Amino acid sequence: MTIETPGDFWKDYELVDSGNFEKLERFGRYYMSRPEPKALWDKSMTDAEWDRTVHVEFRPGAGFGKAGKEDSGTWDKRKKMDDQWVIDYHGSQKGLDLSLRLGLTAFKHVGVFPEQAPNWEYIFRNTSELARKAAAGGLPKPRVLNLFAYTGAASLAAKAAGADVTHLDSVRQVVTWARNNMELSHLENIRWVVEDALKFARREARRGNVYQGIILDPPAYGHGPDGEKWKLDECLNDIMKCVAAILAPKDSFMVLNLYSNGYSAVLGETVVRQAFGLPADCPGLECGELVLHDSFGKNLPLSIFVRLKR
């Protein structure tokens, strides 16, 4: 099991401080304070220092912390700032250059999950390798499917590496946001799908369609565009079996990311091994945690990942 964190080369993002169930972050030129249930320790900065630094603070509303609901609330602006702005990610690999529009949503999110940067690097690296092999052999571009794709940074990483990308999310407004990020990043021709992820994966399996790369970042709870209910505990095994059926058996990769509290990397790895029928010592199978380091040396774990390369 490994622990991974974004590289210091990412100049447009910084976790400044964390503690007392909050985190203080910088996205580009703006500083914001948001709730963070995993920050169980004390802050390193004083409350006065936080107040002097922050441009905007998220205040949770009635739905905060209730199972099955997003953490809804409002933003309290302390200093003048734009409602929307753009940050850049220039990765450790040549060609991994993304531009992402951020905004203050009612669900405490801003349009990017910074701890996911190591996954973007993995996706870009492996997609680039597959694209080079395909070009050398006169084969079509590798096909990459991104399920629960949100605003699309992982889709952009795959596209920038030379893939034929299908981006799927159940929320039309989020897909529109992802399309805007594609345009900002000077990319084109991503396939956009607004649908329930499990329904789509099952249909692809029935049709015998395969992909060389599959990315999925499922929420704990959610709904499809036609009211389909998603509960991670009940659906994760089913969708992983669908993923196993549509991932190419050779020259392919898979990335599973999980945020749900109580899920461990070992749990995720076991689900993947069972769905794919893999041995315990399978080469190319890895798991770990994605962590943000704040400027005072505290480590904030935010999600777990399982990756498979074959």
Mean pLDDT of the chain: 94
Closest by CA to 16, choosing from 292, 309, 310, 305, is 292
Q: Domain check: are 18 and 142 in the same one?
A: no
305 has pLDDT over 60: yes
Q: How far apart are CA 55 and CA 139, in angstroms?
A: 50
Strands 97-103 and 84-90: antiparallel
User: What residues make up the domain containing 122?
Assistant: 112-309
User: Which CATH number do you get for residue 287?
Assistant: 3.40.50.150
Q: Domain check: are 58 and 14 in the same one?
A: yes
b/e map of 29-56 (b: 16 or more CB within 10 Å)?
A: ebbbbbbbeebeeebbbeeeebeebbbb
Q: Which pLDDT belongs to residue 63?
A: 52
Q: Tell me what percent of the residues of the chain surpass a pLDDT of 90.
A: 87
Q: How far apart are CA 240 and CA 270, in angstroms?
A: 11
For residue 216, is it within any domain? yes
Task: State which H helix or E strand residue 62 sits in.
Answer: none
Q: What is the pLDDT of residues 96-121, one digit of tens each?
A: 999 999 999 888 899 999 999 999 99
131 has pLDDT over 90: yes
80 has pLDDT over 90: yes
Q: Domain check: are 119 and 205 in the same one?
A: yes
Q: How far apart are CA 26 and CA 187, in angstroms?
A: 26
* Mean predicted confidence (pLDDT) in 274-278: 97
Q: Which pLDDT belongs to residue 220?
A: 83
Q: Which pLDDT belongs to residue 62?
A: 58
Q: Domain check: are 62 and 191 in the same one?
A: no
Q: Which pLDDT belongs to residue 68?
A: 43
User: Which CATH number do you get for residue 31?
Assistant: 2.60.40.1180
Q: Domain check: are 262 and 168 in the same one?
A: yes
Closest by CA to 6, choosing from 91, 84, 63, is 91
For residue 133, is it within any domain? yes
251 has pLDDT over 90: yes
Count of helix runs (H) and strand runs (E) in the chain: 7, 17
The domain tally of the chain equals: 2
Answer yes or no: are the C-beta atoms of 24 and 296 closer than 8 Å. Answer: no
Q: What is the pLDDT of residues 145-191, one digit of tens each?
A: 999 999 999 999 999 999 999 999 999 999 999 999 999 999 999 99
Q: Which pLDDT belongs to residue 124?
A: 98
Q: What is the pLDDT of residues 227-237, one digit of tens each?
A: 878 788 899 99
67 has pLDDT over 60: no
130 has pLDDT over 80: yes
Closest by CA to 196, choosing from 254, 258, 147, is 147
Q: Domain check: are 245 and 145 in the same one?
A: yes
Q: Domain check: are 132 and 265 in the same one?
A: yes
Q: What is the pLDDT of residues 186-203, one digit of tens each?
A: 999 999 999 999 999 999
For residue 10, is it within any domain? yes
Task: State which H helix or E strand residue 29 sits in.
Answer: none
Query: Distance from first CA to last CA of the chain, Å, rounded?
Result: 18
